[in-house]
């Protein structure tokens, strides 16, 4: 039993790093960042703070929204999102250093890198939600909305991701006067990460469950 519990927490931390790695790869693809990171990325350009630092601030806002949506149904353990959001924010800055060598020179390479980032993020999200330790704040918001609407996570995620993209675009235009971090790649990511999570869940559940159940 104790081994399963350790596996669950280790797998959860691994999922956070995988998600941060996917987000960093999406930045390097230079076709618009993944929805998960587009608001922190645009805000970091505006504020000159690191992406990880702004991601932490964004996390606090998302946790507050979850509390407002779920009210008394918000689990107290989900306040641990503050701790995990801090770890995730640090992982983002680390991941950006690790992928600094990635500099695609043509559009095809950029597209392939973008698609890779979507798969990496989706796999990380799958591990995160399967371990059921505590959600990352963006996914926690999706789960909160899914709970209220009684809809599947993968069906709600594209709508929330698209909302993040729109907010990032507005921030970019208002504060910078031009679009940054929001391009066709952002839209592609917003539309396909949720469905990829559903496909991976269907095919990998039987391998993940024995590790944590």
pLDDT for the residue numbered 61: 93
Query: pLDDT of the chain along its 213 residues, tens only?
Result: 576 677 788 888 998 999 999 989 988 998 888 787 889 999 999 999 998 899 999 999 999 999 999 888 888 888 888 888 899 889 999 999 999 998 888 999 999 999 999 999 999 988 887 887 787 888 889 889 998 888 887 788 888 888 888 999 999 999 999 988 888 888 888 788 888 988 888 888 777 777 666
Query: b/e string for 10-33 if b means 16 or more Cβ within 10 A?
Result: ebbbebbbbbbbbbbbbbbbbbbb
pLDDT for the residue numbered 194: 80
Secondary structure (DSSP) of 58-122: HHHHHHHHHHHHHGGGS-GGGGGHHHHHHHHHHHHHHHHHHTTT----SHHHHHHHHHHHHHHHH
Domains of the chain by residue range = 2-208
pLDDT for the residue numbered 39: 92
pLDDT for the residue numbered 212: 67
pLDDT for the residue numbered 213: 65
pLDDT for the residue numbered 152: 81
């Amino acid at each position: 039993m104790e081994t399963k519990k350790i596996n669950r927490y280790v797998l959860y931390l691994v999922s956070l790093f995988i998600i941060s790695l996917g987000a960093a790869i999406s930045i390097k693809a230079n076709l618009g960042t993944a929805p998960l990171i587009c608001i922190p990325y645009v805000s970091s350009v505006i504020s000159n703070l690191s992406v990880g630092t702004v991601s932490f601030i964004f996390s606090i806002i998302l946790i507050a929204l979850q509390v407002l949506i779920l009210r008394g149904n918000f689990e107290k353990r989900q306040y641990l999102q503050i701790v995990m959001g801090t770890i995730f924010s640090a992982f983002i800055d680390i991941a950006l250093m690790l992928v600094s060598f990635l500099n695609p020179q043509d559009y095809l390479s950029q597209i392939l890198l973008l698609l890779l980032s979507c798969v990496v993020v989706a796999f990380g999200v799958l591990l995160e939600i399967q371990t059921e330790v505590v959600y990352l704040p963006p996914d926690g918001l999706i789960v909160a909305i899914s709970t209220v609407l009684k809809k599947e996570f993968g069906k709600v995620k594209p709508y929330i991701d698209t909302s993040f993209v729109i907010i990032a675009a507005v921030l970019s235009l208002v504060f910078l006067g031009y679009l940054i971090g929001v391009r066709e790649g952002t839209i592609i990511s917003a539309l396909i990460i949720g469905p990829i999570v559903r496909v991976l869940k269907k095919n990998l559940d039987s391998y993940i469950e024995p590790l944590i159940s």
